[in-house]
Amino acid sequence: MTILKRPLQNKQWNNYLLQTNTMNLNALKTAEKKLFLFHQYGLSKESVCFAFTGLLVFLNPFPHLTAFTNILFSIVLVLFIDLFYRKTIKPKWKNPFSIPLVCYVIISIISTLFALDKTESLGDLFSHLLRYIAIFFIIINCFNTKQRFRYLVRIIIVSGLIFSTASLFYFYIIQGNNLTTRFGTGFTDSAICTMGLITVFTFILSLGEINQTQNRIVKSLLMIGLITVLSASLLSQSRGTILSIITAMLVIDLFKKKILSLVIIFCIIIYYCFSTPLQDRLKASNHYDDRISIYLYSMEIIEDYPVAGTGFSIDTFKNKNLIDPHKYKKRIPERYRSYPMLWPHNMFLSIWVRTGILGLTAYCMLIISFIRLSVRLIRFGKDSFIQTNAIYALSSLTMFCTIGFFSPIFIHFADFTFFIIFSMLTILWSLNKESAEEKEQKKTDLRTINTWRA
């Protein structure tokens, strides 16, 4: 009995040990799985933040999506803050535009404190400045590699092409307008004079992609897209848009020395200008009177509010309860008094009116910082990728400033475009800095090895 019992006890003991070990192994696997899922959740959250930021950039040109984009921005902001709190990402706050941006924000806040309409100014400060500064920092931290930078550029190109193609189809095919009709006439949410910010921006980035990609199919598709956005730009018959194409191409030609492409595009523009109704707009002197009147009117307001401006609010300018139009129209020549005074048709003049000479100085510092940095990257960038894309970033800012010089561009999609351009150059600066640090580290390691061998 004893002899039979022992093996039974041993068998039971072995089964117990086996069950215990199996339970421990399962517990370990469960723990590892949970740990893996945690890391996977963190990575997926970063991917979701990256994808949603890309979607936010993609939807920028399209009207009637304000509610959706506001919700999307809130989601992206919450995800980014959560990733920062969990230290999943290490945000890069310091960049060449930090000081000018901080100065501009401080001056804008001061202007809001002394604003004629404090409530509206505070609202515009958040919706037209702080919101897009937040997006700027999210973009430079999400699209922080060469591959992701390419994704950003391609998202902008695809978005601009879809917007331009759909708008052209709707305006000329569905509505049945003639080709001589100004493209965009009657569009309530996409002003004719500011649509060039989308079409010319897409045109510039498409040129950059054509020069950098080796895939023939992609090049062919980009060429078709290039013709589409160029057509949309010319059909708008906007003087500022057409001039922005010329200035943007001059910047590209200055560094890329592509004379043939420049000559071809100039010939197309000149032919179009003098074979369409646009020539009447270019020749008629009275077409410039409305701009001259608004410039004179704006300067009279600046005389009364020279330091802090009227406040950051964009709509204060046309508010008759705050700014008496009769008072200021009396100060300008009678020839220019009959035109409506709604906005300063110049981004620098608008900044001057709203934030005073201090705000204009800070804004110009921001533009000058961009130009200096882009030229430095073009000349001393560590590789051709950085140098080439810096050229197209500078060309994009030139386009923006050219259109902004003739149009009221402080609307949401224009603000977004402005900070997208700045984020692109900031990413290039960051990549160049990392490349320089890596090369310096390799040299240091090599010197250390040689010293150790000696």
Query: What per-residue confidence (pLDDT) applies to 2?
Result: 41
Query: What per-residue confidence (pLDDT) applies to 31?
Result: 43
Query: What per-residue confidence (pLDDT) applies to 41?
Result: 45
Query: What per-residue confidence (pLDDT) applies to 8?
Result: 42
Query: What per-residue confidence (pLDDT) applies to 28?
Result: 44
Query: What per-residue confidence (pLDDT) applies to 195?
Result: 84
Domain boundaries, the chain: 96-440
Pairwise CA distance, residues 282 & 314, whole Å? 29
User: What's this model's pTM, rounded to 2 decimal places?
Assistant: 0.83
Query: What per-residue confidence (pLDDT) applies to 13?
Result: 46
Encode pLDDT of 155-171 as tens digits.
999 999 999 999 899 88
Pairwise CA distance, residues 303 & 328, whole Å? 10
User: Over the range 73-106, which residues count as b (16 or more CB within 10 Å of their CB) and which as e?
Assistant: bebbbebbeebeeeebbeeeeebbbeebbebbee
Please list the ranges in the chain whose pLDDT falls under 70: 1-44, 186-193, 258-287, 435-454
Measured from the Cβ of residue 71, the count of other Cβ atoms closer than 10 Å reads 10
Pairwise CA distance, residues 4 & 338, whole Å? 117
Query: What per-residue confidence (pLDDT) applies to 38?
Result: 41
